[in-house]
Structure 1
Amino acid sequence: MTETSHLRIPHGGYVLVGDGRGARLLRNEGHARHLSLQLQHRFEAPPNPPTRAQGTDRPPRVRQGEHRSAIEQTYWHDRAEQVFAGEVAATLGRLADAIPALVVIAPPRMLAQLRQAMPDRLKPAILAEIDKDLAKLSVEEIQHRLGPT
């Protein structure tokens, strides 16, 4: 869902806003028509050094008969984002009984990783998945973007 003007987050509903480096879990303390988002939890990904500092070896090669070919290089940043998405989803899974409604907002790749890692018991609570990068915005700006126009 990309249109947010018809989105109604009930009182006590949650909004997860994040990217591959961090995420915030916000709770609506207001009403569906008058949001009042409050920070409940902040997730921080561990530092992720440049790829050149993580994998200094050349990709290994395999021999198949007379032919040799390289194995695809590991993309450490992608792997770190997958691990981070799994950690966020696991924490949300532990809180699933306390989350009546959830809106997930993340850039497309992170949104896909969160969707894949999300526990099945939390999926019915998801009201919307919004593929936007709002992670650097303040809580007030996020609230304004989600509120009715």
Structure 2
Amino acid sequence: MAGPRLEKGIWVLVADGEKALFLRNVGDALRPNFEVFHELANENPPNREQGTDQPGRYFDAGMPNKSGFEATDWHRIGKERFAETLAERLYKHAHAGEFKKLIIVAPPLVLGKLRKELHKEVAGKVVEEIPKTLTNHATWDIEELLKSAVEE
């Protein structure tokens, strides 16, 4: 087996930019049984509801032309802030000694931001990172997908 085992007690964080599921394996490595022990939700409305201003404009140096700034993507910023919240929550749990190993399942954008924000204490406990969106799957589907992913 190349990847980590889904041993009893391992934690799995399944997250995207709007929802996070904290799972614990109460089964064994051959028959994982994930239990959701905490769920977080992030209120992140679309950009049109978060910002109303038009992007600013500026004059190019030495040119009579105007250029526009890129519009702020408030929705993406909300996802990144949610990743920061998750990193803080994981640190509190790790510092309290509540888990020894962690698997993180998140889409690439959230996974990248989460990786940057993780404290060393938490990063040392991460045994696998899977770049997928599984937050809307049932726990038994997540069990099967992770079981096949870590066996590869």
Pairwise TM-score range, normalised by the shorter structure: 0.7 to 0.9
- The SS at the match of 1:103 is strand
| Structure-2 residue corresponding to 1:70 | 68
CA contact (8 A) 2:6 2:147 kept: no
| Structure-2 residue corresponding to 1:107 | 107
| Structure-2 residue corresponding to 1:56 | 52
- Write the distance in 2 (CA, Å) between the matches of 1:72 and 1:26: 39
Percent of pairs with identical residues: 32
> Deviation per CA, 1:3-24, whole angstroms, max 9, x where unpaired?
x984412211100111111010
CA contact (8 A) 1:7 1:146 kept: no
Deviation (angstroms), 1:50: 2.3
Is residue 2:7 matched to residue 1:45?
Answer: no
Deviation (angstroms), 1:61: 2.1
Deviation (angstroms), 1:124: 0.9
Q: TM-score, normalised by structure 1?
A: 0.87
Aligned-pair RMSD on alpha carbons? 2.0
CA contact (8 A) 2:23 2:34 kept: yes
> Deviation per CA, 1:11-40, whole angstroms, max 9, x where unpaired?
111001111110101001122222111111
CA contact (8 A) 2:55 2:69 kept: yes
Q: What is the 5 A alignment of 1:73-88?
A: 73-88=71-86
CA contact (8 A) 1:104 1:130 kept: yes
Q: Which of 18, 21, 27 is the aligned partner of 1:24?
A: 21
Return 5+ residue gaps in structure 1 as ranges.
Answer: none
- Write the distance in 2 (CA, Å) between the matches of 1:49 and 1:129: 27
Return 5+ residue gaps in structure 2 as ranges.
Answer: none
- The SS at the match of 1:15 is strand
Residues matched between the structures, number: 145
